[in-house]
Structure 1
Amino acid sequence: MKKAILFALAAATFANARAADVPVKVQLKWFPQAQFAGFFVAQAKGYYKAEGLDVSLLPIGDQSPIQTVATGTADFGTTWITDLLTARQQGLPVVHIAQLFQKSGYTLVSLKTKNISKPADLMGKRVGVWPSGNEYPAVALLKRNNMTSSLDSTVSNPSVQAVTYPFDPSLVFPDKVDAVSAMTYNEVNQIVGLGYPLDKLNVMNAADNGVNLLEDLMFTTQKVLDTKNFKGSGLSGQQVAAKLLRATIKGWNYAVANQKEAVNIVLVNCGNTCKGSGTRASAAGHQTWQMAEIAKLYKAGPTLKGMAGYLDPATYQANVRLLTDLGILKSAPSAGAVTYSVWEAATGKKAK
């Protein structure tokens, strides 16, 4: 009888502990897809639960995640480094806490018949770009090669006509633009799916042309990091951030090592966006392509040295210099734009 009572008490205690999981909202930088496989794997495998977190992964589409996190609608988010630093420049107290992708996947894709194989070939052309802060890689690539675009209202006779489009290449490619923005893991495959095989395309990688702006990172606000009692949990914002990051890195490491399983987990979550807009590929086929390409961006740089999630200071400074030299940033961001304390707490390692 006594054992039964003790067992019941233990079960009740466990149930209460589960009920007390800290609610955390994470704003993803697009719709659910393999780009965020590590997050979905961490959720499906119970890695967040093991850290005492009840994580909600929020889609956003073609808007910037900065606003939802800055206003407190979400607690953490993913975005690109240029988006984060330009937001800091505008006075938003967002803070970089981890760098998931260590290599840029941004490209400009054109038909080989257009003879666009290097940035200089874009002179006088129409280039498809994305809205909401996602145009910066194209702007940087043009500026680095002494070209202007119609995105700059102060320029009367721009070198390039920018055509803003909402991420579906079929809306503009190839009739309305000469080259179109495309991520290696997403739009490149969508364009192939539209009936343009890789051997008929020129894929100009921005990183190969001096613009290696870092992409998917994790961020939050200074307010969250300074919180002493996050949502009444008894944990500080720093502690919650470290728990979130530790589980997320575990999810990413598993996803990259077990890509087929990770794709199956993603397919459960991505619904109508699984196929990718504009592609003829199957949902599973597109997400499999995406997972393989995403793995290349994650498994590079510090990740190969056992430091997944680490923002290499030299790479960061190179990004800052590029953005300031191009005038995208007016000055170097303050030290508060990046913190290594969350990564150190999550991994037990020291930043270099």
Structure 2
Amino acid sequence: MLLKPVATALATLLLGGAALADTAMPFALDWRFEGPSAPYFVAVDQGLFEAEGLSVEVTAGEGSLDAIPKVATGAFPVGFADINSLVRFLDQNPGAPVIAAMMIYDKPAFAVIGRKSLGVEAPADLMGKTLGAPPPDGAWAQFPIFAAENDLDMDQITVEPVGFPTREPMLAEGQVAAVTGFSFTSFLNTKRLGVPEDDISVILMADHGVDLYGNAVIVNTDFAEANPEAVTGFLRAVAEGWKATAADPEAAIEALTGRNPGMDAALELERLQLAMETNVMTDWVMENGMGNIDPDRMANAVEQIKLTYEFQNDPDPALYFSDAWLPDDGSLSMQ
């Protein structure tokens, strides 16, 4: 007579355990579904999140200033955002429960894109030239750091405020000799306008003295403290998604196509490969693994931010990045 109640209780216990393991972790991207977001969909489609007991839905965004508040308010437990924007947000909102937990863009995409035929191949070449820069552009926001690190005299550079839609067309038409922008985006836009690839110079600010980091996985700290294993599992799945993408970029773009049917698959594949080669799979990452940071570099990055931003509070790198939830089982190795 007791067998049925016991069996029912056991089934309830097992189902309850499965439900508890299926932790919902919606993920807020900073931008639209483009090539560099493919690894997260690979992680979804290959069951990498599911293997960690997570239910993950990836949501498009409208920039870091959109993703950061979503995570800080707890609307999303995890997101993807520029760490430099996070530094400013936390300075203006001290104590907000959000922090970077996994660095993805070891080198940010901030760049100057120039035309070799117009005399721009290196930072010093900007002297005496006209530079097109959209006022809200993230790369333009870091230009004072780039200028200081390369001894550029701003009085000798003509800065032409341009709109995002006209930036690359003006470069293609020779109205400006260079523009500020994200390396892979502005390069591809300029190339699509008919400028030969060998005439385009991409001057990555990170290769010329700018120590800033780029986009990172950010986490709501209240959620992370309550669910540390879920956060670690999420970060492990992200790393595995990037490794799978590096092994088969074409398949990764196929995973993205279902979420963005109108995209140009060839273009997004090239965008993904440029981001991987230049920003994600850097020499430092290949040696040290994905996700962590160099504390000395981060400290210097904060000092460089002071050139473009006046802190309201004493800056502290420990407020902006924590490695507390990074997996330590070797899954971050990109080898």
TM-score range, shorter chain: 0.7 to 0.9
Separation of aligned partners in 1, 2:29 and 2:271? 16
Separation of aligned partners in 1, 2:133 and 2:76? 30
| Structure 1 residue 344: Cα displacement | 4.2
Deviations 1:173-205 (CA, angstroms, capped at 9, x unpaired): 445644223333333122101111122223222
Equivalent residue, structure 2, for 1:248: 238
Equivalent residue, structure 2, for 1:232: none
Identity, in percent, stands at 20
Decide whether the 8 Å contact of 1:130 with 1:167 is kept in 2. Answer: no
Equivalent residue, structure 1, for 2:298: 316
Equivalent residue, structure 1, for 2:77: 75
Equivalent residue, structure 1, for 2:146: 141
Counterpart amino acid of 2:250?
Answer: K
Q: 1:168 to 1:29 in 2, by over 3 A?
A: farther
Mark the runs of 5 or more structure 1 residues left unpaired by the alignment: 150-156, 229-235, 275-282
Equivalent residue, structure 1, for 2:200: 201
| Structure 1 residue 169: Cα displacement | 4.4
Separation of aligned partners in 2, 1:340 and 1:10? 38
With structure 2 as the length reference, what TM-score do the two structures score?
Answer: 0.80
Separation of aligned partners in 2, 1:200 and 1:286? 19
Equivalent residue, structure 2, for 1:36: 37
| Structure 1 residue 312: Cα displacement | 2.2
For the aligned residue pairs, the C-alpha RMSD in angstroms reads 3.5
Q: 1:194 to 1:10 in 2, by over 3 A?
A: farther
Q: 2:136 aligns with which of 112, 128, 131?
A: 131
Mark the runs of 5 or more structure 2 residues left unpaired by the alignment: none
Decide whether the 8 Å contact of 1:24 with 1:56 is kept in 2. Answer: yes
Separation of aligned partners in 2, 1:192 and 1:290? 12
Equivalent residue, structure 2, for 1:192: 191
Partner-residue secondary structure (3-state), 2:121: coil
Separation of aligned partners in 2, 1:187 and 1:327? 23
Separation of aligned partners in 2, 1:205 and 1:78? 21
Deviations 1:106-162 (CA, angstroms, capped at 9, x unpaired): 32112334323333444563422473755433342234456698xxxxxxx996535
Equivalent residue, structure 2, for 1:165: 163
Equivalent residue, structure 2, for 1:23: 24
| Structure 1 residue 168: Cα displacement | 7.4
Decide whether the 8 Å contact of 1:259 with 1:292 is kept in 2. Answer: yes
Decide whether the 8 Å contact of 1:129 with 1:135 is kept in 2. Answer: yes
Counterpart amino acid of 1:240?
Answer: A
Q: 1:344 to 1:257 in 2, by over 3 A?
A: same
Separation of aligned partners in 2, 1:192 and 1:133? 21
Equivalent residue, structure 1, for 2:289: 307
Q: 1:268 to 1:12 in 2, by over 3 A?
A: farther
For 1:337-352, what aligned pairs fall within 5 Å after superposition?
337-344=320-327
Partner-residue secondary structure (3-state), 1:182: strand
Separation of aligned partners in 2, 1:158 and 1:85? 31
| Structure 1 residue 219: Cα displacement | 1.1
| Structure 1 residue 67: Cα displacement | 2.4
Greater displacement, 86-95 / 140-149: 140-149
Separation of aligned partners in 1, 2:73 and 2:153? 33
Deviations 1:45-77 (CA, angstroms, capped at 9, x unpaired): 111111111112111134622222223332211
Separation of aligned partners in 2, 1:334 and 1:306? 20
| Structure 1 residue 254: Cα displacement | 0.9
| Structure 1 residue 13: Cα displacement | 5.0
